[in-house]
């Protein structure tokens, strides 16, 4: 296929280790499972079949983003494409909720407040204490970032506001220059970008879902207004366990 100059493919990484126990991951650097790797490979094959090639890939500093990039590019047959990372493309920071599952969170803070934090736009979860060892200022991944810039918790609005400078200052110039971009990030990060690109209200944004493992192709006019948004159809991933005659399909993650 011939690609429009003004086009970006967005991709949410697939199944990770903490999905197995339904824990909130956020900035915790958890790897993909075999299912997540297979989802990335399937997406790469579909991108290759549809004729997509990329000049650059941009993603978060978290390994589930890097793993997705490596697998997708290998499946396309272009492993040499440069991969740029930024903490601004990280997942939303869930503060004190990180590492907990929903049942634990409900028991600690109640279901009403918890759901308000998850889906609402403005209110962040309880933050990590500044000296909590889970705070990103203790992580070598962020050693060159001013600790005052690193979040201890984020609302969806906070996540969007720290992501948009990367979109405006790094990605937009690349798109205007005609580069074909693949952006590999996370559910809430991509929700914030979709909200910005489509001009959605906070209420409408709360209903936006970004399924894992499915490339989202966004085409723009010369002024970078959205002309078309298309999900690339990718077959459901199945992995056959040893001695198991019935492989299980991989779930599409929405949380």
- Is residue 38 a contact partner of residue 237, using CB atoms and an 8 Å limit? yes
User: Measured between alpha carbons, how far is residue 100 from residues 23, 26, 159 in Å?
Assistant: 5, 11, 20
CA-to-CA distance for 181 and 171, rounded, in angstroms?
A: 8
Contact 56, 81 (CB under 8 A): yes
Tell me the three-class secondary structure of 191-248, residue by residue. HHHHHHHHCCCHHHHCCCCCCCCCCEEEEECCCCCEEEEEECCCCCCEECCCCCCCCE
Active-site residue identified among 6, 15, 39, 91? 91
* CB 88 within 8 Å of CB 162: yes
Query: Would you call 143 exposed, middle or buried from its count of C-beta atoms within 10 A (0-12, 13-18, 19+)?
Result: exposed
* Cα–Cα dist 255/243, whole Å: 31
Q: Is residue 13 annotated as a catalytic residue, yes or no?
A: yes
Q: Find the catalytic residue in 6, 13, 15, 186.
A: 13
What are the Cα distances from residue 186, in Å, to 89, 111, 133, 203, 206?
8, 24, 23, 20, 16
Active site residue 58: no
Distances in Å between the Cα of 240 and the Cα atoms of 20, 22, 84, 161, 198 are 17, 22, 34, 41, 39
Q: Active-site residue numbers?
A: 13, 91
């Amino acid at each position: 296929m011939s690609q429009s100059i003004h086009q970006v493919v967005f991709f949410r990484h697939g199944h990770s280790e903490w999905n197995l126990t339904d824990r909130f991951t956020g900035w915790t650097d958890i790897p993909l499972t075999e299912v997540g790797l297979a989802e990335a490979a399937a997406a790469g094959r579909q991108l290759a079949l549809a004729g997509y090639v990329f000049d650059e890939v941009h993603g978060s500093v978290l390994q589930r983003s890097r793993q997705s990039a490596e697998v997708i590019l290998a499946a396309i047959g272009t492993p040499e494409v440069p991969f740029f990372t930024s903490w601004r493309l990280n997942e939303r920071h869930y503060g004190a909720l990180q590492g907990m599952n929903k049942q634990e969170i409900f028991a600690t803070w109640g279901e009403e407040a918890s759901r308000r934090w998850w889906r609402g736009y403005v209110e962040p979860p309880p933050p990590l204490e500044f000296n909590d060892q889970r705070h990103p200022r203790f992580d070598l991944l962020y050693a060159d970032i001013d600790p005052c810039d690193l979040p201890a918790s984020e609302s969806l609005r906070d996540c969007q506001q720290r992501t948009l400078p990367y979109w405006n200052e790094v990605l937009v110039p690349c798109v205007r220059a005609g580069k074909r971009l693949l952006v590999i990030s996370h559910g809430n990060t991509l929700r914030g970008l979709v909200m910005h690109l489509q001009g959605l209200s906070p209420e409408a944004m709360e209903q936006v879902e970004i399924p894992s493992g499915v490339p989202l192709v966004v085409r723009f006019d010369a002024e970078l207004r959205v002309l078309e948004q298309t999900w690339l159809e990718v077959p459901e991933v199945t992995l056959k366990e040893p001695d198991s005659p019935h492989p299980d399909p991989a779930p599409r993650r929405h949380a």
